[in-house]
Chain A
Amino acid sequence: MLYLPIGVVFINAGIEDGAPTLGAFADVLSDPFYFGVFAQWFADPFAISDHLRSVVGWLAAVSVSLSVVSVPGTTIPIPWLDISTPGVRTGLFGFTAYQAALSTVASVALGLPAAYILANYEFRGRQTIRSLTILPFVLPGIMVAVGFYAMFAQGGTLNSVLGIAGLGPFSFIEYSPLAIVIVAHAFYNAPLVARITVAAWETVDVRAVETARSLGASDRRAFLDIVLPQLLPAVLTGALLTFIFTFMTFPIVLALGGLQLATVEVWIYDRIQRLAYTEAATLAVLETVLSLGLIYAYLRYEATQSRLAQGTARPPKQPLFPDFRTAISTKRLAIVGYGVVALLVFVGPMLSLVIGSVTDSSGLTLQHYEFLLNRQLEGESFQTLPAVAIRNSLLFGLGTLAIAVPMGVGISVLTARAGRVGTVVETLAMVPLAVSGVVFGIGLLQGLAFGISLPGGWQLQITGGVAIVVAHAVAAYPFVTRSVSPLLSGLNPAMVESARALGASRYRALRDIEVPLVATGIVAGAAFAFAISIGEFSSTVILASGTDSYTMPVAVERYLGRRSGPAIAMGTVLLVITSVSFVVIDRVGGRVER
């Protein structure tokens, strides 16, 4: 189910007129549009001295300068590191990597302070914020994009707020769509970085730090020698995952940047819309190879870092604001400052989404919802109807549950077994994380939706809703596996053996001991799977194009093209439904998240 569509993509890219060829790859690789200056490397890979000369020449022309510039439109000065490079045409892949790198830097910069605060301070709501860091995984990308749109657009909430102070309005999105896309990526990935880092920070054994202190290391030195080396792997893991995710970014760039900021994914989508399937498939293969390489690097890295964190004594957490004197110290003020920025980045867009849905330039209004209602009541069947989108989303969500939960649990059971089989299955189960929804969507579209001829005159064909459910299930099952596996492998085998010795059969022991103990993980995984299905955009938009099996995120994108108000209202509906899923995750799966 997973490998077939990917295989179809590879075959489409590599076979022309029934004969295998690498022509399509050569075309793409040597096209400066895709690979910029590197295209000539691919075109003539053996002219090494020429290439080296051009690299050296380019490096010699790089200059770095630090200057103070003012925020556009105001006189607020900010330091600005200016790296001036001679113009290089990096091409589509180069740009994709460039924005991913910038997004990674932004995510780490925004995530590390959060990790520091969560790991070292105790305050009300700490645990809630810690569990909220899982949220980005279930937030639909298109909804986040619309939220940023509602905040930063010409008539958005940020301009309304600035307007009170007599500033603006500014055209943030038009001025620098790349900056907004990067902030949106940070919204997604900074919590991930924070989450992984906090987990590592909390397993640092305080006794190791105390040992270092007793051996003569200063507080600072102990941090550098003991804590930092244990955090770095986590930070690098977070950064690498962020790079992978933002390299494959799609809905955010599509909605906020459009084709002028096209990343590989957006361009593939555009090629499909223009029916240029071979080119799309070729690009998809190249992208998949790159992201698989990254995932492989990640897995290798993770494997070298895995160690037993057993019996560690956790450092005590300080209260954040114990008294007024401490509260106005530089350190605490810096934390407050960070809090304001975090509030702006994380809460701003979601709040803007809700506010934007009930306001327009003249004040409070319900006209956006009214538009949705009217469209539902009076719209033509070829138009995008809100109720159909909601119904489809819920149906596909249930369908996804039916496939992803048994599949995810089954894989967990296989991987819980020690040995080589477990490792192989675990690695294969990670593959969906490396294959983007767009690539998978093409595979399903070209393979199953157009039909595959089987020997004996049979035709394997699945269409519309079924194909979408398959795509969603593939995207969702790793999350089921990830919530069930830790519980399953954490089970003491002696428990099952005790039950057996007391007279329970193997099946009975499974029912009485294993299933109840991993039940929370299964339910949490199911809620994840449902939320992912509700929010999935990339493959759905491809599979649903031209059909009536569109979902809520697809409806949001379709509305966004014409009127922003209804899109924001639809996004709010999506937010409500996603929030309900999250509450279920938190209530039921709260014990899983530690």
Chain B
Amino acid sequence: MTTVELDGVSKRYGSETLALRDVSLTVSDGEFFTLVGPSGCGKTTTLRTIAGFETPTTGTVSFDGREMTAVDPEDRNVGVVFQSYALFPHMSVAENIGYGLNFAEPPDGLDAADRIAELLELIDLSGMGDRSPDQLSGGQQQRVALARALAPAPDLLLLDEPMSALDAQLRESLRRQLVEIQSELGITTVYVTHDQAEALAVSDRVAVMNNGQIEQVATPQQLYRKPATRFVATFIGDNNVFEGTIQQSRPPRTATGSQPDKTSPEMWPRDCVSVAVGSETFRLPAVDQAAEEVTFCVRPGALSQHEPRNQLTVAVETTEFLGETVRINGRWNGRSVVLQLDTVPEADELTVGFDPTAVHVIDTDESS
């Protein structure tokens, strides 16, 4: 099968706009690889560069080590599915699916008609081949677009926000179908979405993009647990990001100073460092003591009312009941904080704490 490699790809429109800045990534054979980011981050441009619809200003694109940068899209043997489906309205469903077979032999020695029937079955639309695309629902049209892309057995499947025009329930079921088909065929797939939850759900690996650059490439779990940048930390899931100043190793104090410290030294991991955030001081492990500044994040789920360590008192602003959990948006020390609790709180203020080991340190300023 196929690996895809982008090496130092930049794309400039006109003289000013830089759509991609030095993008390098490798998609392994058979991998479900997702590009995720806010709109305008360059994810679609990256996909179109792989497909050959855009030529990079600098840098190279190669498939299996063969350079493809200047190869026309029709000679790349890729299957593309667009958000708008882009079905040919003047052709039947079967003609749409079979269009690519005009230019390539059907795989496995099948003839075109059998290949079309096989794909119709794969997408659960057997017997619908004679319909016109506009007689199908949005979900069915999207499946036809997928079948059309798969018909010539491409080396690479490229999906550009294929689900975003569909409603949430349909999207989930189609997503499962897509993942099933993808793993069954073992085809290398690049998927573009702006929905971080979708990216986490379907992908083997995810590249988070922002401002035309790649922020981080990692598996969904790594991305969630160990975001490499502040942008990734806040883009992937809810998160609380704090910037603090590293203090000398002193025992922790509470905010008011009037309450006695309820924690005992044995509750703290070793090598903890005091970090001042606003008027509060937290103790965190695994921080480079030589640095002055540190940025770290704590997931809402790690902030607990039953945790005596690293406490902070949050003023509740809004409460969202989500079923299993309750999300609380509040303020602490002039910044907004997100909490996740099991029940709707009664009080206007909540005191929560976090386990020092639940903290992920994004970066430490090592300037000193």
Contact = CB atoms under 8 A, between A and B. Distances in A.
A513 B100 contact: no
Contacts of B102: 503-504
Nearest to A502: B100
Interface residues of A, number: 18
Contacts of B82: 494, 497-498
B353 interface: no
Interface residues on B, range: 20 to 34
A482 B100 CA distance: 33
Interface in A489-527: 492, 494-495, 497-506, 508, 512-513, 516-517
A503 B103 contact: yes
A503 B104 contact: yes
A512 B99 contact: yes
B74 A498 contact: no
A517 B78 CA distance: 25
A214 B283 CA distance: 56
B72 interface: yes
A501 B103 contact: no
Contact of B103 (A494, A495, A498, A502): A502
Contact of B89 (A501, A505, A508, A517): A517
A504 B103 contact: yes
A484 B87 CA distance: 21
A494 B44 CA distance: 13
Q: Most B CB atoms within 10 A — which of A497, A501, A512?
A: A501
B86 A498 contact: yes
Interface in A306-335: none
Contacts of B75: 503
Nearest to A498: B86
A494 B99 contact: no
A503 B145 CA distance: 15
Nearest to B158: A501
A492 B87 CA distance: 9
A512 B95 CA distance: 11
B71 to A, nearest CB: 12
A495 B90 contact: no
Q: Most B CB atoms within 10 A — which of A492, A499, A502?
A: A502
B88 interface: yes
Contact of A505 (B74, B76, B84, B158): B74
B73 A495 contact: no
A419 to B, nearest CB: 11
B103 A513 contact: no
Contacts of B149: 498, 501-502
A495 B99 CA distance: 12
Interface in B55-84: 72-80, 82, 84
A353 to B, nearest CB: 40
B20 interface: no
B51 interface: yes
B90 A497 contact: no
A503 B90 contact: no
Interface in B70-123: 72-80, 82, 84, 86-90, 99-100, 102-104
Nearest to B77: A503
Contacts of B158: 501
A512 B103 CA distance: 13
Contacts of B74: 500-505
A70 B227 CA distance: 89
A517 B90 contact: yes
B148 interface: yes
B53 interface: yes
Contacts of B104: 503
A224 to B, nearest CB: 36
A504 B73 CA distance: 9
A220 to B, nearest CB: 37
A492 B82 CA distance: 11
Contacts of A495: 86-88
B86 A502 contact: no
B94 to A, nearest CB: 14
Nearest to A496: B86
Q: Most A CB atoms within 10 A — which of B53, B86, B89?
A: B86
B356 interface: no
Contacts of A513: 88
Nearest to B160: A494
A124 to B, nearest CB: 26
Contacts of A512: 88, 99
Given A500-B72, A500-B73, A494 B90 contact: no
A499 B53 contact: no
A516 B103 CA distance: 19
Contacts of B52: 500-501
B53 A502 contact: no
Contacts of A498: 80, 82, 86, 88, 145, 148-149
A497 B99 contact: no
Interface in A36-52: none
Contact of B84 (A494, A501, A503, A504): A494
Contacts of B220: none
A502 B152 contact: yes
Contacts of B145: 498
Interface in B119-174: 145, 148-149, 151-152, 158
Nearest to B151: A502
Nearest to A509: B74
Given A499-B99, A503-B100, A516 B90 contact: yes
Given A494-B86, A500-B52, A504-B102, 4 more contacts: A500-B72, A503-B104, A503-B152, A517-B90
The list of the 7 closest CB pairs from A to B, nearest first, reads A503-B103, A502-B100, A494-B86, A501-B80, A494-B82, A500-B73, A495-B86
23 contacts: A492-B86, A494-B84, A494-B86, A495-B87, A495-B88, A497-B51, A497-B73, A497-B86, A498-B88, A498-B149, A500-B72, A500-B74, A501-B52, A501-B158, A502-B103, A503-B75, A503-B77, A503-B100, A503-B102, A503-B104, A504-B99, A505-B72, A513-B88
